[in-house]
Chains A and B, each alone.
Chain A
Amino acid sequence: MDRSPPPKRSDFEALFEGHELAFRVYAKALLPSWDAVDDVIQTASLVMWRKMEELDSSDGFLPWGKVVVRFTALKHLRTQSRDPHVFDPELIEFLSQEEEERDGGRLDAQQQALTKCLSALGTEGRQLVLSPYQGHGYLTKLAEASGRTRNSLYKQIRRIRAKLEQCVVQQLGTAS
């Protein structure tokens, strides 16, 4: 099969955005916090932009970009060596290898399934299941507003996640 031509600079934005989710997944698998993911993806995107000439085909953007993300994440982790929630190098190596071997197409399918299942949850369930990703303190605010404890809300989030999981499995099963 013919390979795609080398990407142009003007292609960068579309290429990066097309794979940004995959890059974030890779970074999150290796890093202990969302803040670290943001920092690493920001830096990695600039490195990719600067080194784009290294690519001889647009097809190679995702695996090449993941390598950039991995090295950027490792560099970041070296500065965070005192963080007690950083995985040790052996586990990071395992996770890197296994993540890079995963089928890239599965992420799109999962995203579609998850979006569909999320829309079926209803407003309250949707708000709850998204709340852990909306910044420090958001869950506390929700708890205060609803007169419940954080732990009680978190237990409910776990139950909703389990329902979402069943729905996504069903969706992916139907699609395949």
Chain B
Amino acid sequence: MNTNHEHESVPEELEELIQDYLDERLETEGFVRLQEILKENSQARRRYLDATESAVILQDIAVTEESAVLAAPVKSSTKQVAFRWLPLGAAAAVLVLALFHSPWFSKPDVGAKLVSTSETDWLSAELLPGAPLAVGTQLQLASGSVEIAFSSGATSRIHGPALFEIESENEGFLHYGQAYSVADEESSKGFTIRTGSSTYIDQGTEFITKAAADGYSQMLVLEGAVDANAEGFESRRIPGGSGIGFETGEAPMMIQIERGSETRAFDFPSIPPPSSTDYASTHPVSMEIDSRGRPSRKPSSAPNSAPVIVLTNGRAQKNHDDPEESFFFRDDITGYIVFDLNESVPVTSIHTYSWHRNRDKPESTMRAVQRFTVWGAKNTQPSGFPDAENSSGWTRIARADTDIFFQVDHQASRPPQQACRILPAGDSLGEFRYLLFEVLPTSDDIDIPPRHTFFSEIDIFTE
């Protein structure tokens, strides 16, 4: 809104650029133009600052006014929970820090304190902000979130559905759900979140942990570093921006997911670039593709996709939008890629790579995301594909969803080049002749059109 008479003649183009930018709907070309105008013209900058003031006031009203919340047709999403929690940030900070000096923490059995709640639907007994949390206390949420301050100075925000247990004044157990933790005080060094399959030990940082009831867990370091431990694996120090996951069961697996350099070199922090010497590139491996949900008589792969053979040619994509070197399924289906390795071999690791960024079509950045489950079969190819109820004779090896690892909640935060590496706890992932990649569209959000990953390469290692 224009609140200054001297700006009454603001050109329509500038007004639209500013409003679209503030509404996060401005495309790259418009952004370049807006930046150009703002750099050259101080009156335009004043108008931009005026419009920013109005937008922030309106956003404040939209978020905080009960009438706006009640009018919302969308039930609270993670983002909205965050919106509602964040205005409490200052108050929470005061409370968290004040609690360190509270007499409650002088009691040895009190490990933490409840700082705040947000839209919390409790399954365990309801607690109010300020409640002391004794060691052994379990907090179970159906939805919403709670903020916990440990007496060590660490804080954790638990998002439901979740079950979280206070284990000590510097340690919690996430049975399932999500925990966002900050441990940047000297006294909170070594702050630990345990899950059914893993232990994450803070080294002065902030990190997000997720755990599923079936034991699967993953952790993403936002800043600093975290040591990740799981039975059968050597301890790994995970740096900021990287994540790790663990599958449990008879054959525990570790899933590393990393952001690439966005160059043809495919540089990743620890995962090597695509290989031309892996088993799939050097042996007579055959591949078939299929799909579920495909309209009749249409092929499973997208019309402009390269043949599936590009996944084993040892060559990476040449640029950020290179369909000729990418294999990708037709949108809105579940795709299957079956590798026949010709004989049963001990598979020691699997690497997958993707790269895509189309800056003029933001929804197309969805094609960098990898969402798949990899399955194996030893000697005979099962006749069907697995579904939610039936594995159809396949053995699940590991699951990957890179958006979850990177905590993507808006387009700009999604890495355009990604790699995933699946490693076993023991010597191999198992002995398999057949590997099945069940590839899902990269989003099931109804607001985002379903897209499929631009896969660059799938490397299968046997030694």
The interface bits of chain A over 112-131 (1 if a CB of B lies within 8 angstroms of the residue's CB, else 0) are 01110010000100010111
Contacts of A118 in B (CB 8 A): 58, 61
Q: B residues within 8 A CB of A95?
A: 38, 45, 48-49
Q: A33-B412, A35-B79, A83-B412 are in contact. Are A165 and B56 (CB under 8 A)?
A: no
Instruction: Choose, from B16-24, B249-257, B281-289, B418-426, the stretch at the interface.
Output: B16-24
Task: For A17, give its contact among B22, B54, B90, B412 (CB under 8 Å).
Answer: B90
Query: How does the 8 Å CB contact mask read for B59-102 relative to A, with 1 for contact and 0 for none?
Result: 11111000010011110010110110011011101100100000
Report the minimum CB–CB distance from A155 to chain B (whole Å): 11
- Cβ of A174 within 8 Å of any chain B Cβ, yes or no, is no
B-facing residues in A45-62 (Cβ within 8 Å): 45-46, 49
- Size category of the binding interface on chain B: 35 or more
Q: Which residues of A contact B86 (CB under 8 A)?
A: 38, 41-42
Known: A12-B90, A35-B410, A94-B45. A135 touches B55 (CB 8 A): no
A45 to B: closest C-beta gap in Å = 4
Interface string of A1-42 (1 = CB under 8 A from B): 000000001001100110011001100110011110010011
Task: Looking at the assembled complex, report how far the CB atom of A41 sits from the nearest CB atom of chain B, in whole angstroms.
Answer: 7
Question: Which A68-100 residues have a C-beta within 8 angstroms of B?
Answer: 80, 82-85, 87-88, 90-91, 94-95, 98-99
Q: Which of B1-9, B110-118, B294-302, B331-339 binds A?
A: B1-9
Please give, as numbers and ranges, the residues of chain A lying within 8 Å of B1 by CB-CB distance.
Answer: 114, 161, 164-165, 168
Given contacts A115-B61, A138-B72, contact A45 B410 (CB under 8 A): no
Residues of B within 8 A of A20 (CB): 87, 90
Chain B, residues 17-50, CB within 8 Å of chain A (1/0): the string is: 0010111111010010001001100100110110
B residues near A, CB below 8 A?
A: 1-5, 8, 16, 19, 21-26, 28, 31, 35, 38-39, 42, 45-46, 48-49, 52-63, 68, 71-74, 77, 79-80, 82-83, 86-87, 89-91, 93-94, 97, 262, 359, 409-410, 412-413, 416, 445-447
Apart from A106-B53, A110-B57, A169-B3, list 9 A-B contacts with CB within 8 A: A29-B48, A46-B93, A130-B68, A134-B62, A137-B447, A164-B1, A168-B1, A168-B2, A169-B2
A residues near B, CB below 8 A? 9, 12-13, 16-17, 20-21, 24-25, 28-29, 32-35, 38, 41-42, 45-46, 49, 80, 82-85, 87-88, 90-91, 94-95, 98-99, 102, 106-107, 110-111, 113-115, 118, 123, 127, 129-138, 140-142, 145, 154, 158, 161, 164-165, 168-169, 172-173
